[in-house]
Amino acid sequence: MSKSALDKDLLQVSGYESASNALGRSLAAPGIALVFLLLAGVWAAFAMGQGPGTYVVVIGALIAGYMALNVGANDVANNMGPAVGARAITMAGALVIAAIFEAAGALLAGGDVVNTVARDLLISPEMEARTFIMVMMAALLASALWVNLATYIGAPVSTTHAVVGGVVGSGVVSAGFAIVNWPMIGAIAASWVISPVMGGIIAALFLIIIRATITTRLDKITAARVWVPIFVAAMTGIFAMYLATKGLSRVWKPDLPTTLALGIAFGALGWLTAMPWVRRQSRHMENRKKHVASLFRLPLIVSAALLSFAHGANDVANAIGPFAAIVTTIQTGHGEVAGISLPFWVLAIGAIGISLGLALFGPRLIRTVGEQITKLNEIRAFCAALSAAVTVLVASAMGMPVSSTHIAVGAVFGVGFLREYISRRDMEGSAVPVNARMVDASQLNATPEEALAKARKVESRLLVRRHHVFSIAAAWVVTVPASAALAGVLYFVLSVVIPQ
């Protein structure tokens, strides 16, 4: 009896320890995030120095850091989700690569789109400074709260949607509908529709090309030795041209012929590097699709890194665009929206916050994008990631704040629907002829239950989970009005809380 009582006591103590450890792990991420926010506020106070508006900038820095954490937690899942879903890289490896390239993209190429988010959405250059500050602060806080809620429930929403909706909502409440640059909103809304379609189409085209050149060939290994280096060359060439036009624009702005020459040169370098690597990896490899697909593992990781760089450049604006407008207004003393400056310390808060948010809160959404929409292997994930990278890079080069969520998820849907179409077509093409003399008796349905099972098997060829299509689309639709309404309410609250 005493031994039994002792065992029960030990089990109870062990249970307390497990619960304590679990609680500690659950509180670690919020604790680290809180420390980051406090450091961001201190950094802002030090950067601004003594002044009447320093406390406003500190509040803005806290909100901007909070938004950056949410951008990292929600949006970055779209970049690494396909690679993790295809088992090409571990979750830890994905977090490290994405954090490095997100920060690099934000710091090197994040300036142009900031102006679009913070400046071009509003058309009133005569807005009173305090009103303009309240508009931007309410927009930033509303979008951060909405994205935080979406991340908590596991919905990959668009942070660009949230920020644009917040700016529009607080702007309308402050000065009416005339303050909003509706043609710009229309152009952005059109890009939200076009970008996922483009992402899906480009991803499907990549998959069609790979099927035609490699996976449907009889000698797949020989075909892969020719074509995989070409895909690597395309990635390196695109990345080089993007760096030349955007990433290095602060120190060097080459003309179009020079940019194209750099793309060709780095593409050739990528091809020359990939050729021996592919030959070495393909030695003693079986001539099977699954084995050949493994050759796309490294290109997939490279494309995911490229996409992370593009996301950092494009979506850092969602975290710091309104905050940069607040800092500029405090420094100039008026609410003119035509001259937003971007201090390095402001950009750094966004870059660090995005990377930290990814590391602390990103794995859940990464699994959603990579595993719960459709089944991915290295080839399909490569097509999705490269398609998303190309689309995001083009949009960022145009200074258009498109939704990387729409593009990346659209690319995943694109490869999934193409695979579903091909699978169903192949199944229909291999149907047994309706001729009793040609039918193998073993293929007939012995019972109604067997017929139902076969019908369900045909239904299972729906390789894209339809409920995710509708739930993600619903989240996209709700984000803009929800963040706009929340921003309108917060504008009134902040106007009362923050003194004149």
| pLDDT in the model for residue 486 | 94
Residues 183 and 256 occupy one common structural domain: no
Domain annotation covers residue 266: yes
Q: What is the DSSP letter of 213?
A: I
Q: With a cut of 50, list the residues of the chain below it in pLDDT.
A: 1, 21-23, 431-443, 458-460
Residues 170 and 235 occupy one common structural domain: no
| pLDDT in the model for residue 452 | 58
Would you state the torsion angle of the CA atoms of residues 190, 196, 200, 203, taken in this order, to the nearest 10 degrees? 110
What CA–CA distances, in Å, run from 333 to 64, 102, 132, 338, 438?
A: 21, 33, 11, 14, 86
| pLDDT in the model for residue 462 | 57
Residues 172 and 255 occupy one common structural domain: no
What CA–CA distances, in Å, run from 486 to 178, 260, 302, 315?
A: 20, 45, 39, 21
Residues 74 and 137 occupy one common structural domain: yes
| pLDDT in the model for residue 433 | 45
Domain annotation covers residue 301: no
Residues 149 and 83 occupy one common structural domain: yes
pLDDT digits (tens, 9 = 90+) for 23-58: 455 678 888 889 999 999 898 888 887 777 788 889
Q: In 3-state terms, what secondary structure has residue 180?
A: strand
d(CA 181, CA 193) in angstroms, rounded, equals 19
User: At 31, which amino acid appears?
Assistant: G
Domain annotation covers residue 23: no
Domain annotation covers residue 338: yes
Residues 186 and 41 occupy one common structural domain: yes
Domain annotation covers residue 225: yes
Range of the domain at 227: 220-286
Distance of CA 130 to the CA centre of its chain: 33
Domain annotation covers residue 279: yes
| pLDDT in the model for residue 437 | 42
Q: In 3-state terms, what secondary structure has residue 444?
A: coil
Residues 103 and 163 occupy one common structural domain: yes
Residues 123 and 267 occupy one common structural domain: no
Residues 239 and 121 occupy one common structural domain: no
Domain annotation covers residue 60: yes
Residues 260 and 356 occupy one common structural domain: no
Q: What is the DSSP letter of 255?
A: -
Residues 260 and 364 occupy one common structural domain: no
Domain annotation covers residue 421: no
Q: Which residues pair with 464 in a beta bridge?
A: 374
Residues 115 and 236 occupy one common structural domain: no
What angle, rounded to 10 degrees, do the helices at 404-429 and 466-497 form?
A: 170
Q: How many domains does the chain have?
A: 2
